[in-house]
């Protein structure tokens, strides 16, 4: 008998390695991987381009009015074995990862109308199961009935170190202090916003990977997947 397809929801603070584990699981299981943070980042990029948002302002009503103009798609890049984010047909994978954009994304993702649009799209992408989705509200709002829910944590310093290295490798010009401040700022904003704050779902399994290697983490999580899939 074929194992049943399940939904895997991975939530947690920024830079906790959610996407690394989600990508590994999706590859191993031949499931669809959806990086919902990339979608919030792409909407933020759109808002920046139209000058609706900067460090001092947010033109919420103007952004809400133009939500129908925003078309988000993922396209699989064979070479990178990774689905890249496209905003209105343009590959924005690089632009959405900058520290400048990271400083504005929590503001934009706190808008309920933005969340409603993206959550609907995410639910559609996962309607046939066989999906690994990472974000902040996947186990609580997008797929409250997901068979497996993980909640990832790690100390802010560990996370900032990981993010800092990643950004340097990708050629971004940043300082560690700036990255740490951004990680802490986003933790605060994402978990205190009114609509769908980042909280652990009651039935999510918490993983603190501050001192856990990737291999060990994957093996432990994969065991959980097998139990849920065969159960
Ligand atoms: O996963 P990430 O760091 O790329 O996400 C960027 C931001 O998007 C994050 O700070 C909060 C927001 N986000 C969200 O509100 N809900 C999600 N499901 C995913 C991300």
- The CATH number of whichever domain residue 42 belongs to comes to 3.40.50.300
* DSSP string covering 153-176: E--HHHHHHHHHHHHHHTT----H
Distance 34 CA to ligand 1 centre (A): 12
For the chain, the domain total comes to 1
Instruction: Decide if 1 is inside a domain.
Output: no
Residues with CB under 6 A from ligand 1: 14, 36-37, 40-41, 105-106, 109, 135-137, 186, 190
Instruction: Decide if 81 is inside a domain.
Output: yes
Within 10 Å of residue 102's Cβ, how many Cβ atoms? 24
Instruction: Decide if 23 is inside a domain.
Output: yes
Q: What percent of the chain has pLDDT over 70?
A: 100
Q: Structural domain of residue 25, as residue ranges?
A: 7-230
Instruction: Decide if 65 is inside a domain.
Output: yes
Instruction: Decide if 45 is inside a domain.
Output: yes
pLDDT tens profile 103-138: 999 999 999 999 999 999 999 999 999 999 999 999
- The residues, ordered by sequence, that sit 6+ positions from 78 with a Cβ below 8 Å of its Cβ are none
User: CA-to-CA distance for 136 and 116, rounded, in angstroms?
Assistant: 14
What is the rounded average pLDDT for all residues in the chain?
94
Instruction: Decide if 2 is inside a domain.
Output: no
Select from 10, 136, 149 the residue to mutate for testing ligand 1; criterion: most ligand atoms less than 8 Å from CB.
136
The predicted pLDDT at position 231 comes to 73
């Amino acid at each position: 008998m074929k194992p049943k397809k399940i939904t895997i929801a991975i939530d947690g603070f920024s830079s906790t390695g959610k996407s690394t584990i989600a990508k590994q699981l999706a590859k191993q299981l031949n499931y669809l991987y959806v990086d919902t943070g990339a979608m919030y980042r792409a909407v933020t990029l759109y808002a920046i381009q139209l000058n609706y948002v900067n460090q001092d302002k947010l033109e919420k009503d103007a952004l809400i009015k133009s939500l129908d103009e925003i078309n988000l798609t993922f396209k699989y890049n064979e070479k990178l074995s990774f689905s890249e984010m496209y905003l209105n047909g343009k590959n924005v994978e690089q632009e959405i990862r900058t520290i400048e954009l990271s400083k504005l994304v929590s503001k934009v993702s706190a808008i309920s109308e933005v969340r409603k649009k993206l959550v609907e799209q995410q639910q559609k992408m996962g309607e046939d199961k066989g999906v690994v989705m990472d974000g902040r509200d996947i186990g609580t709002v997008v797929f409250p009935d997901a068979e497996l829910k993980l909640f990832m944590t790690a100390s802010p310093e560990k996370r900032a170190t990981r993010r800092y290295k990643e950004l340097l490798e990708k050629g971004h010009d940043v300082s560690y202090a700036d990255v740490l401040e951004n990680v802490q700022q986003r933790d605060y904003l994402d978990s205190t916003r009114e609509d769908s704050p980042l909280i652990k779902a009651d039935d999510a399994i918490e993983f603190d990977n501050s001192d856990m290697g990737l291999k060990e983490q994957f093996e432990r999580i994969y065991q959980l997947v097998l139990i849920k899939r065969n159960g």
